[in-house]
Amino acid sequence: MAEQQGLARVPIPERGDLEAEALAFFDELARRGQPVPNVYRLLCNAPHLGAAMLQLSDALRRSVHLPPKLRELVILYTCEVNEAAYELAHHRKGALLAGVEANQVECVRDFERADCFSAAERAVLTLARELSTAPLAVRNETFRELQAYLSVPAILELAVTIGWYHLAGRLTATVDLKLEDAMRAGAHSET
C-alpha cells in the first residue's frame, strides 16, 4: 500500500496489490494515459462502485448541453461550500481552462456580491447554492431564471453535476483523502 499517499483512514492500493476486478478497473483508468487519481485508486477497494462512479463522472465531463464554463463554476462553488479540498484542487486549473476567469475562481463562493459573473452564471450558481443548503428547495424563480439560459437537458446535467460533487466531497472527506504528489506540485487533473 502507498503510505506516501497520505490516506489516514482507508488504504490506497498499488496496482500490484489488486485482485482481478479491481485490477481491471485500475487498468481501464491507466489506459487513459494519466496517473490514476487517488479518488479512483481509493475506489479500487470497491471496484463495482468505482466503475459506476467513473461512468457517471465521464458522462458529466462529456456534457453535451451544459457549457463547460458553467459546469466548472458550479463544481467550484459546490466544492467551496463543502470545503472539499481534494476536489477543489483538482478543478481550479480545469475551471480556468474551461474559460472561468481567475477572479471568478477566487470569489465564486460569494458570487452574489461579486460583479464578475454574467446573469447566466449567477443563475447556475444560485441553483448550486439552493441545492447546497437546508432545507433542500429550489425556488420557482430560480428555475425560471435557469430556463432563460439553459435547455431542460442542460438543467438536468447541471443538477446532477451539483449532486455528484456533493457526493465526491463527502466521499473524500469520509476517508480523509489527500492530494496526489503531482497535484501538490502543481499538476492538473479532473476527477
Give residue-wise pLDDT tens across range 1-57: 444 445 468 989 999 999 999 999 999 999 999 999 999 999 999 999 999 999 999
Answer for the pair 39, 45: CB distance below 8 angstroms, yes or no.
Answer: no
**CA dist., res. 15 & res. 22, Å (int):** 9
Per-residue pLDDT band at 181 (split at 50, 70, 90): confident
DSSP letters, the chain, are: --GGG--SSS----GGG--HHHHHHHHHHHTTSSPPPHHHHHGGGSHHHHHHHHHHHHHHHT-SSS-HHHHHHHHHHHHHHHT-HHHHHHHHHHHHHTT--HHHHHHGGGTTT-SS--HHHHHHHHHHHHTTSSS----HHHHHHHHHH--HHHHHHHHHHHHHHHHHHHHHHHTTPPPPHHHHTT-----
CA 146/CA 158 separation, integer angstroms? 10
The pLDDT value given to residue 22: 97
Q: Work out the average pLDDT over 100-110.
A: 97
Q: Which three cell numbers stand for residue 131?
A: 441545492
Residue with cell 481534494: 86
Would you list the domain boundaries of the chain? 3-62, 68-174
pLDDT of residue 186: 66
- pLDDT tens for 155-166 read 999 999 999 999
Distance CA 158, CA 153 (A): 9
Question: How would residue 183 be classed by pLDDT, with cut points 50, 70 and 90?
Answer: confident
Evaluate whether 80 touches 88 at the Cβ level (below 8 Å).
yes
Identify the pLDDT of residue 134: 84
8 A C-beta contact, residue 50 and residue 40: yes
> What is 68-174's CATH number?
1.20.1290.10
User: Which residues, 6+ apart, have CB-to-CB distance to 131 below 8 Å?
Assistant: 138, 159, 162, 163, 166
Q: What is the pTM of this model?
A: 0.90
